[in-house]
Amino acid sequence: MKPVSEREAQEAVTTLLRFIGEDPSREGLRETPLRVVRSFQELFGGYATNPESVFKTFRDGGEKVDEMVIQRNIPFFSNCEHHMLPFFGVAHVAYVPEDEIIGLSKLARLVDVFARRLQVQERMTNQIADALVKYLKPKGAACVIEATHLCMVQRGIKKHMSDTTTSALRGVFLEPATRAEFLRFTQQGPRVPIF
C-alpha cells in the first residue's frame, strides 16, 4: 500500500468535516485536521511497535519463578475497527513462567501495543496471550479484558451500562485448577469503574 502523507491525511479530515456539515475554514476548526492527524499517530502508534521489543530487555532475566504472575486492572484505550469509536476498560494479564520473567510494567506496555490499533476486543485479547506465549515461552499465559464500547453506548442500541468480557487462555491456564485460580484473581478486590 502506498504510504499516505500527513498532508493527505489532513485533507481527508477536512473532507469529513465538510461531510458532517461543518465549515472547515471557521476559526475553531482551522487546526483541527492537524490535531486529528497528530492524535491518530499516537492512538494508532501500535502499528509501528513490534511486540517483541517489549520483551527484549528481560531476555536475560534468569529468575526461577514458577508461580502465577498476574497483573490486574491494566487500563487501556483502543478503537473498534467497525466504527472507529473508542472502547476502553481494563486488561488482566497473567502467565506462569518457564524460566524467564518480564517486568510488570512491560505487561502494561504489551497491552498498549495491541490497544493502539484498530481492534476488535476478541482479537486484542488473543494477541496479548499469544505474544506472551511466543516471546516469553511460559508454561501458560492468559488475558481477560473487560471493556465498554462507545459504539454500543453512544450510538445504535444505547446500552449504557453494558460491558463486554473476553478471555484467552493458553498452556497451563487450560487446566481447570489454574484457570479457576486466575479467574478468581481477576474477579476479586477493588474493580476499576467501567463507564
| Contact footprint for Zn ion (CB under 5 A) | 80, 82-83, 151
Q: Are 164 and 149 in contact (CB under 8 A)?
A: yes
- Is 143 assigned a catalytic role? no
- Is 187 assigned a catalytic role? no
List residues bridging with 80 in a β-sheet.
119
- Is 92 assigned a catalytic role? no
Strand 118-119 versus strand 69-80 pairing type? parallel
Measured from each CB, the residue nearest to Zn ion is 151
Q: Is 107 or 147 the residue whose CB approaches Zn ion more closely?
A: 147
Q: Is 83 or 109 the residue whose CB approaches Zn ion more closely?
A: 83
Q: Nearest approach, Cβ of 145 to Zn ion (angstroms)?
A: 15
The DSSP code sequence of 31-92 is: THHHHHHHHHHHHTGGGG--THHHHGGGTT------S-EEEEEEEEEEEETTT--EEEEEEE
Q: Nearest approach, Cβ of 114 to Zn ion (angstroms)?
A: 16
Q: Is 80 or 172 the residue whose CB approaches Zn ion more closely?
A: 80
- Is 160 assigned a catalytic role? no
> Rounded distance, CA 132 to CA 102, Å?
10
Which of the residues 92, 100, 119, 121 is marked catalytic? 121
Residues labelled as active-site residues: 80-83, 121, 149, 151
